[in-house]
Amino acid sequence: MTETTLTGLRAQLHALPKVDLHRHLEGSLRLKTLSEIAQEHGIDLPSYDIEYLRRFATVVTDDRPDFHLFLAKFTFLRRFYPTRAAVEQVAYEAVADAAADNIKYLELRFNPVALSRYQEFTFDEVTSWVCDAVAQSQRDHAITSYLILQIGRDESLDIATQITEVALAHQANGVVGLDLAGDEASYPARRFADIFQRARREGLGITVHAGEAGGAQNVREAVELLGAQRIGHGVRSIENSDVIHLVRSNGITLEVCPTSNLQTAVVRRFWQHPLADLLALNLRVTINTDDPSVSDTTLTDEYMTAMLAMGVTLEQIKHTILNGVAGSFQPADKRRELAQWFRKELQLHG
């Protein structure tokens, strides 16, 4: 493609109204904001220069793809929530940045432990602050946004229960789901089964990171034991035909994040990514950013990668957007209304 053609394609994809179901607040911080927070609150860093911070907060070109090195970025990022104002600022900006990419529906997930631990805020406090900031940002930026609370696989059952209680308590404030994330290779999901099954019974949507660093069996475990309606990543479902059948027959939504999958070494090259195959198998596949600042990506970038490196068509991109609406955790009446709006905007029928 010529540079002019690429520019035109990017403009076309940017103009699409989008849905992002899998975006982490902690992976959506602006480097400029990190520098400002660090200087204002005396966070001990060798330099406050944005390019210096980039090496610690963002996957750069000479970083080798590795799941644990990717997760290590978040250890650094947890230092930047010293006050209520800082928490509210990063939450507000995360939604604003999504809106700037013409995302019209966003589900933003965050780990209350990450936002509270350094200053010993309570889980309820940080959740309230994020809810308030997200509500204000969506009013200001013509975007609909809901929240998902995340539990780390390495956390105790007590902490997991506390996070679940906070999520349930804030359903009226925009919290619609519960997520399990972290090192799936080292920490099985099954010990959280009772907690997640209860959360689903009490009205929360359930999404579980699985089939990323671990194999297809982890996807089965998430669906059968935790009641997952969505799978974060789930790309390794392709390794097991029985799991593919389970995902398809249960209408499970896959939250695929291509750039993240490359950076965590789930795939070695973009052309090896199973996105096109998952679409061909008629699964409910969505395309998402995961951690836009850590991965230095936007949803427009992810669409570009899918089309140019994976052979996905523009029509398939549009259908992944509708899949995102269908798999969203928003109330059913709003889901139907939004699906109708997206079909019209994307010029799709049926």
With contact defined as beta carbons under 8 Å apart, do 106 and 18 qualify? Answer: no
pLDDT at position 23 is: 98
By 3-state DSSP, what share of the chain in percent is helix, strand and coil, each rounded to 5? 55, 15, 30
d(C-alpha 273, C-alpha 180), whole Å? 23
Q: What pLDDT, in 10s, does the model give residues 251-290?
A: 999 999 999 999 999 999 999 999 999 999 999 999 999 9
pLDDT at position 119 is: 78
Q: How does the average pLDDT of the chain come out, rounded?
A: 94
pLDDT at position 181 is: 96
**Domain-by-domain residue ranges, the chain?**
3-346
Q: Which of 26, 107, 212, 221 does the annotation list as catalytic? A: 212
212 is catalytic: yes
CB atoms within 10 A of CB 62: 6
Written as one string, the DSSP assignment of 120-146 is T--HHHHHHHHHHHHHHHHHHHT-EEE
Indicate the CATH number for domain 3-346: 3.20.20.140
pLDDT at position 77 is: 79
| Type and span of the H or E element at 94 | helix 84-100
pLDDT at position 34 is: 87
pLDDT at position 60 is: 63
Written as one string, the DSSP assignment of 281-334 is TT-EEEE--B-HHHHT--HHHHHHHHHHHH---HHHHHHHHHHHHHT--S-HHH
The model's pTM: 0.95
pLDDT at position 74 is: 80
pLDDT beneath 70, residues of the chain? 60-62, 349-350
